[in-house]
Structure 1
Amino acid sequence: HDFVKKLEDKSLKQENFLFYLKQDYIYLLNYAKCYARLALNSNTAKELRFAMKFQNYIVEGEMELHRAILSLGINADELDAKDESLVNIAYSRYMLSVGENGDFLDMLVALSACAIGYAKIGAEIINRLKNENLKDHPYKEWILTYGSENFQNEAKEFEDFVNSYTSSVSAQKFQKLSEIFHT
């Protein structure tokens, strides 16, 4: 994606990065609500613990990064729905609708694209920049967060949890889950 390439090679304009951060902050508020929906759809204590753990990770972890970066010029507490882009609205409401109309696994898969995707992007950037000093990189906090060992471990745990359901899924259900993931 062009945005990621520009972020990595330092050519991304700061105003574009700040717009993204604002949108991602609002998105993460909705993403955390999606984990509440995942918890509502849970059938076991293990599923409930998983949903609550990742909801907490978003609220206390990922959103903290955004608040720290946004504090350079934007009050994150003042961001609200009026600042949300139409693309953001469509995607976050889609995920919520998956949870409202589907089951735990449907919602889990809807959430997985973001959870696993950001880890893959972060790891790839870190791998490509491993010989470069990130000290002066304008987006180093973002890169270090999503490329961090901690974030990678959380994403791996998420991926393993999703994969733990694969042996019990019918071909029809797998097709539905594939469509959810790719939307």
Structure 2
Amino acid sequence: MLFKRLVDDNAKIWNEYINHEFVKQIENGTLPSENFMFYLKQDYIYLINYAKCYARLSINARTNTELRFAMKFQNYIVEGEMQLHQEILKLGIDTENFSDFDESILNMAYSRYMLSVGESGDFLDMLIALAACAVGYGVIGKNIKQRLGKIPSSHPYKAWIDTYSSDEFLSEVDEFIAFVDSYSNVVNESKFSRLSEIFGNVTRLEVGFWQHGLEMKMQI
């Protein structure tokens, strides 16, 4: 299947992504709150651009099925994930008044890279550019939940873990993987090489996103 091939072809960087130190500290509850808030603010800004990337995906759609998929997932980002972040950020960050200077350089590089893939490539290129984020968080959430079992109410990151390990979220992840896999038989080796390069790049950017959350770095 196509998605597994992409993961296998980029196994080292994928493992760094789903087992990053930032993820480990979320799991054991030792991540300092200021680091989590830095990450959450950057991720909220990222999700705004990520939703726009699904709009780019819809522009690249060639069929009604592709168009419906792009629109459904864009709506899920706007109505689902962003709402969680907004609720948490109400603790001290005004989400309605972010400026260009609130976005880190790494964050900027990630979203602009995805958009550049959509502008220069086709629907499948753009779909794979979105895949590391779409699937990785579900893998991480599921792994954490399996290791911890029932998350105690005292866990500082219970809401985050519950979101990304929920049946609803994991169902969306499964749907995304199945959609990617539906292209398995039409991807030749040349196309796979291009898709693997894109997937490797966005996974590297995900690793960078975790790392800049640990370091709270606005600049590179």
| 1:12 correspondence with 2:8 | no
- Residue 84 to residue 135, structure 1, CA distance change in 2 (3 Å): same
Which residue number in structure 2 is paired with residue 153 of structure 1?
171
Equivalent residues of 1:99, 1:107 under 8 A apart: yes
Equivalent residues of 1:26, 1:81 under 8 A apart: no
Which residue number in structure 1 is paired with residue 185 of structure 2?
167
Letter in 2 for 1:50: F
Cα distance in 1 for residues equivalent to 2:58 and 2:74: 9
Higher relative contact order (CA 8 A, sep 6+): 2
Q: In the TM superposition, what is the alpha-carbon distance from 1:110 to its structure 2 partner?
A: 0.4
Q: In the TM superposition, what is the alpha-carbon distance from 1:16 to its structure 2 partner?
A: 0.2
Q: In the TM superposition, what is the alpha-carbon distance from 1:134 to its structure 2 partner?
A: 2.2
Q: In the TM superposition, what is the alpha-carbon distance from 1:82 to its structure 2 partner?
A: 1.5
TM-score normalized by structure 2? 0.81
Equivalent of 2:146 in 119, 124, 127: 127
* Partner secondary structure for residue 34 of structure 1: helix
Cα distance in 2 for residues equivalent to 1:96 and 1:135: 39
Equivalent of 1:38 in 57, 60, 70: 57
1:21-54: per-residue Cα shift (whole Å, max 9, x none)? 0000000000000000000000000000000000
* Partner secondary structure for residue 137 of structure 1: coil
Give 5+ residue unaligned stretches, structure 2.
Answer: 1-19, 202-220
Letter in 2 for 1:177: L
Which residue number in structure 1 is paired with residue 134 of structure 2?
115
Cα distance in 1 for residues equivalent to 2:35 and 2:77: 23
Equivalent of 1:86 in 105, 113, 124: 105
* Partner secondary structure for residue 25 of structure 1: helix
Letter in 2 for 1:73: G
1:36-93: per-residue Cα shift (whole Å, max 9, x none)? 0000000000000000000000000000000000011111112232100011011110
CA-based RMSD: 0.8
Which residue number in structure 1 is paired with residue 115 of structure 2?
96
Q: In the TM superposition, what is the alpha-carbon distance from 1:102 to its structure 2 partner?
A: 0.2
- Residue 140 to residue 61, structure 1, CA distance change in 2 (3 Å): same
Which residue number in structure 1 is paired with residue 90 of structure 2?
71
Which residue number in structure 2 is paired with residue 179 of structure 1?
197
How much identity, in percent, do the aligned residues show? Answer: 62
Give 5+ residue unaligned stretches, structure 1.
Answer: none
Pairs aligned (count)? 182
Cα distance in 2 for residues equivalent to 1:64 and 1:80: 19
Cα distance in 2 for residues equivalent to 1:133 and 1:44: 42
Q: In the TM superposition, what is the alpha-carbon distance from 1:123 to its structure 2 partner?
A: 0.4
TM-score normalized by structure 1? 0.98
